[in-house]
Amino acid sequence: MKFLNKTHRLDQFGITASIACAVHCAALPLVITFLPLLGLEFLANIWVEITMICLSLLIGTYSLGSSYPKHKRSLPILILVTGFLSIAMGHFVFKDFEAILIPAGGFIIAAAHLMNWKYSRSCKHGH
């Protein structure tokens, strides 16, 4: 049961971080001109975005990687990879679609955590 609590908290944190990243990426183009007025110009810094992506990557790989041996389902990992590929494609390949691909990637990563959490909860093994 201790494993499920740890995984549950990691997945909750991963969902929150991924959604925050998606909202940040989706809203930033709309509010970028107002950030200095609000004292939030640091949100437009590339290092904030890199930090959010790295944090999401670390939480995602640890959370999904540590629960995979328990439920043996690879779909959450495939969804997580798809989310990060969407973010990478938005940053490096399809820059014209950046405003769509990057937030979508954040929501896809959140969906991977949600699915992982559901699989971990439905696992009937005594882990």
Q: C-alpha dihedral over 36, 40, 44, 48, to 10 degrees?
A: 160
pLDDT digits (tens, 9 = 90+) for 21-56: 677 666 666 666 665 656 665 656 678 778 878 888
Q: Is residue 111 part of a domain?
A: yes
Residue 65 lies in a domain: yes
Phi, psi for 39 (deg, rounded to 5): 75, 20
Total residues belonging to the chain = 127
What is the C-alpha to C-alpha distance for residues 29 and 25, in angstroms, rounded to an integer? 8
What local confidence, expressed as pLDDT, does residue 50 receive?
Answer: 81
| pTM exceeds 0.95, yes or no | no
Across the chain, mean pLDDT equals 78
Q: What is the pLDDT of residue 108?
A: 92
Q: Does 9 map to a domain? A: yes
How many domains does the structure of the chain reveal?
A: 1
Domain contains 60: yes
* Mean pLDDT, residues 70-76: 89
Query: Which structural domain, as residue segments, surrounds residue 42?
Result: 2-122
How far apart CA 83 and CA 80 sit, in angstroms, is 5
Q: Note whether residue 127 is domain-resident.
A: no
Is 35 inside any structural domain? yes
The per-residue pLDDT for range 75-107, each reduced to its tens digit, is 999 999 999 999 989 988 998 998 889 889 988
**Residue 7 pLDDT exceeds 90:** no
